[in-house]
Every structure is written in structure tokens, then in C-alpha cells.
Amino acid sequence: MGHGGESRRAPAYDGELGAAVARAQQGDEAAFAVAYRLVQPGLLVYVRGLVGDDAEDVMSDAWLEIARDLGRFKGDGAGFRGWTATIARHRALDHLRRQRVRPRPSTLEQDVLDLPGPQSTYDQAMESMSTERALALVGGLPRDQAEAVLLRVVVGLDGPAAARVLGKRPGAVRTAAYRGLKRLAKQLGVESVTDEAPWTLGEST
């Protein structure tokens, strides 16, 4: 994958997010609310893919930690998405350890997805089915593939950022995402697929 694919994948709101985070670090509560609005939908979908119906509770704990440690964050909007995804994942895994359950597939809220026009064969196939079925299919993937797809497509992280969240090498995450998308495409009857799916998911309006 080239750098062009990464730049296309970056959510358009990263500039706004970075500015909001900077103001929030100076004590601007309204700016913190903007940052929350921009990243929460995607994080919630990602955590739902891990813990199912307990995602709201897990994200409440995650946001308490995010607010507490905000002053220590250093980076831009893209960095903030990666940082918050890492915190959300840790809280989800803590929850799973406490509950002693495996990650399970769950439903996607219809208003979370903002699928653009056809960009690839995979995009076209995904646009033709319900979001509930989409997440159910993702939830049926091996865990490493499911997390890679959710982080890259839903949260919008690039390969290196997703790798940092998962504690893996970027190449391993790119491979997992590709294999996951290829497996989904096969289930949907799509002949070819790439992981260059420039979706804009997780944005809120």
C-alpha cells in the first residue's frame, strides 16, 4: 500500500479535531465536546465489535480516562484518534477479562455509516447491504482481522496508527485488514478487493 491510500483514508475532520483538542487542553469544555462528537461514533462502533451491547458502558469508562489524561496527550487530530482508540481498546479488553467472554458480533447503528459513492468493488458490495449485516460479517472474522478492519475502516486509522493500537507491526495489520476485506468480499460474491477503502465512517453531523 502506498502513501496515497493512507491520505485518502484520513477523515476530513482531522484538522477540526486537532484544533478542538488543543483548545480542550487549555480548559475549553465546548471544544472537548466537539472532539467527543467527532470521534465517539467510530469508537463506539469499534468497541461494539469487541464487547457487543456493553459498549456504551465501556466507552463511558474510556472517556473518563481520556478526560483525565488529556493534558498529557501530544499530537494532531489523527494522533488523537489513535490515542483514544488505544484507551477504548484497553477498557474493552479489561471488560472482557472481567466478564470472561469472547468478543462477539453486534449491530451497527444505521446513522453511523456515511458511505460515499463507489470507490472499489468492495465499497459497491457493502453499499448494497444493511449495516447490521455488515458488522455481523465483520464480527465473524478472526479477531485480528476484525480489529484491523474496524480500526482502519470505522475509526479511520492508517496502518502505522492501527498497528500502535494493536501492538503489532504495520505490515501485519495491513495483511490482516486485507485478508479480512478479502474474506468479506468472498462472502458477498465480489471477485476482487483491496484494503484501500476510503470510507468516511464514524463521523457525526
At residue 132, the pLDDT reads: 62
At residue 180, the pLDDT reads: 87
Q: What is the distance in angstroms between the CA of the first residue and the CA of the last residue of the chain?
A: 30
Rounded CA-CA distance 60/193 in Å is 36
Residues with Cβ within 8 Å of 178's Cβ and at least 6 positions away in sequence, in order, are: 194, 195
Sign of CA dihedral 198, 89, 159, 174: negative
More confident residue, 97 or 116: 97
Would you place residue 91 in the very low, low, confident or very high pLDDT band (cuts 50, 70, 90)? very high
pLDDT of 114 over the 50 cut: no
More confident residue, 9 or 139: 139
Verdict on whether the full-model pTM lies above 0.75: no
Select from 1, 42, 2, 39 the least CA-distant residue to 17: 39
User: Do residues 177 and 145 make contact, with C-beta atoms less than 8 angstroms apart?
Assistant: yes
At residue 10, the pLDDT reads: 53
Q: Which three cell numbers stand for residue 98?
A: 472481567
Q: What are the distances in angstroms from CA 64 to CA 7, 57, 59, 81, 118?
A: 31, 11, 8, 16, 38
What is the overall mean pLDDT for the chain?
Answer: 76
The stretch 187-201 carries a mean pLDDT of 51
